[in-house]
Chains A and B, each alone.
Chain A
Amino acid sequence: MPDYETFTHDVLIIGTGGAGLRAAIEASAAGVSVGMVSKCLLGKAHTVMAEGGIAAALANVDDRDNWKVHFADTMRGGQYVNNWRMAELHAREAPERVRELEAWGAVFDRTKDGRILQRNFGGHKYPRLAHVGDRTGLEMIRTLQDHGIHQGIDVHMEVCVLALLKDGARVSGAFAYDRERGRFRIFRAKAIILATGGIGKAYKITSNSWDCTGDGHALAYHAGAELIDMEYLQFHPTGMVWPPSVRGMLVTEGVRGEGGILTNNDGQRFMFDFIPENYKAQTADNEEEGWRYTQGDKEARRPPELLTRDHVARCIVREIKEGRGTPHGGVYLDISWIKKRLPKAEEHIKRKLPSMYHQFKQLGDVDITREPMEVGPTTHYIMGGVRVDADTQMSSVPGLFAAGECAAGINGANRLGGNSLSDLLVFGKRAGEFAAKFAREQSLGGVDEAVVKKLADEALQPFANGDKDNPYTVQRDLQEMMQHNVGIVREESEMQSALEHLKVLWERTKEVGVTGHRDFNPGWHTALDLKNLLTVSEAITRAALERKESRGAQFREDYPEKSAEFGKVNTIVWKGEDGGMQIRRETIPEMREELKRIIEEMK
Chain B
Amino acid sequence: MKTAVFRIWRGNAAGGEFRDYETGVSEGMVVLDAIHHIQATEANDLACRWNCKAGKCGSCSAEVNGMPRLMCMTRLSELPLDKPVTVEPIKAFPLLKDLITDVSWNFRVKKKIKKFKPRPPDAPDGTWRMQQEDIDRVQEFRKCIECFLCQDVCHVLRDHRKYDEFIGPRFLIYVAALEMHPLDTEDRLEELRETQGIGYCNITKCCTKVCPESIHITDNAIIPLKERVVDDYYDPLGWLWKKMRRKKGSGGS
* Residues of A near any B CB (own CB < 8 A): 40-46, 48-49, 99, 102-105, 107, 109-110, 113-116, 132-133, 135, 137-139, 142, 146-147, 149-150, 155, 157, 180, 209-211, 242-246, 249-250, 355, 358-359, 362-364, 470-473, 476, 514-517, 519-524, 526
Contact = CB atoms under 8 A, between A and B. Distances in A.
A471 to B, nearest CB: 7
B57 to A, nearest CB: 4
Given A115-B127, A210-B50, A363-B73, A515 B45 contact: yes
B172 to A, nearest CB: 15
A514 B28 CA distance: 30
Contacts of B49: 40-41
Interface string B95-132: 01110100110010011000110100100001111111
A522 B51 contact: no
Contact of B115 (A99, A132, A146, A514): A146
Contacts of A155: 107
Interface in B27-54: 27-30, 33, 39-41, 44-54
Given A46-B51, A514-B44, A363 B28 contact: yes
Nearest to B39: A522
B142 interface: yes
B55 A149 contact: no
Contact of B135 (A104, A107, A180, A517): A107
B119 to A, nearest CB: 11
Nearest to B72: A363
B91 interface: no
Contact of A113 (B56, B129, B184): B129
Given A46-B52, A211-B51, A520 B97 contact: yes
A24 to B, nearest CB: 15
Nearest to A355: B56
Interface hub of A44, A102, A243, A473 (most chain B Cβ within 10 A): A44
A132 B127 CA distance: 17
A516 B49 CA distance: 17
A355 B213 CA distance: 9
A56 to B, nearest CB: 12
A561 to B, nearest CB: 37
Nearest to A151: B115
B54 A249 contact: yes
Nearest to A471: B44
B111 A149 contact: yes
B56 A115 contact: no
Given A42-B107, A209-B57, A245-B26, A519 B127 contact: no
A525 to B, nearest CB: 10
Contact of A520 (B27, B29, B100, B129): B100
Contacts of A99: 126-127
A243 B29 contact: yes
Contacts of B75: 362-363
Contacts of A517: 45
B45 A114 contact: no
A472 B181 contact: no
Contacts of A103: 118, 121, 126
B52 A364 contact: no
A135 B212 CA distance: 14
B152 to A, nearest CB: 15
A40 B51 contact: yes
Nearest to A110: B132
A355 B145 CA distance: 12
Interface residues of B, number: 58
B51 A107 contact: no
B51 A110 contact: no
Given A40-B49, A362-B75, A522-B46, A138 B127 contact: no
8 smallest CB-CB distances across A and B, nearest first, come from A243-B28, A523-B44, A516-B45, A114-B129, A105-B116, A472-B40, A520-B47, A209-B51
Contacts of A244: 26-29
B116 A104 contact: yes
A41 B103 contact: yes
B115 A147 contact: yes
A359 B146 contact: no
A157 B146 CA distance: 15
Contacts of B145: 48, 138
B185 interface: no
Given A110-B131, A471-B44, A520-B100, A150 B111 contact: yes
A44 B135 contact: no
Contact of B45 (A150, A364, A476, A524): A524
Given A146-B116, A363-B30, A514-B45, A102 B127 contact: yes
B139 interface: yes
Given A48-B52, A102-B127, 13 more contacts: A43-B57, A43-B146, A44-B51, A104-B116, A105-B118, A109-B139, A114-B128, A142-B142, A245-B26, A362-B75, A472-B41, A514-B44, A523-B39
B12 interface: yes
Nearest to A96: B126
B59 interface: yes
B45 A522 contact: yes
Contacts of B98: 520
Interface in B224-242: none
Contacts of B8: none
B64 interface: no
B39 A135 contact: no
A147 B131 CA distance: 23
A243 B27 contact: yes
Given A103-B118, A110-B135, A250 B45 contact: no
Nearest to A117: B132
B58 interface: yes
B138 interface: yes
Interface hub of B26, B127, B129, B139 (most chain A Cβ within 10 A): B127
A49 B51 CA distance: 10
Contacts of B50: 210
Contacts of A476: 40
B143 interface: yes
B96 A520 contact: yes
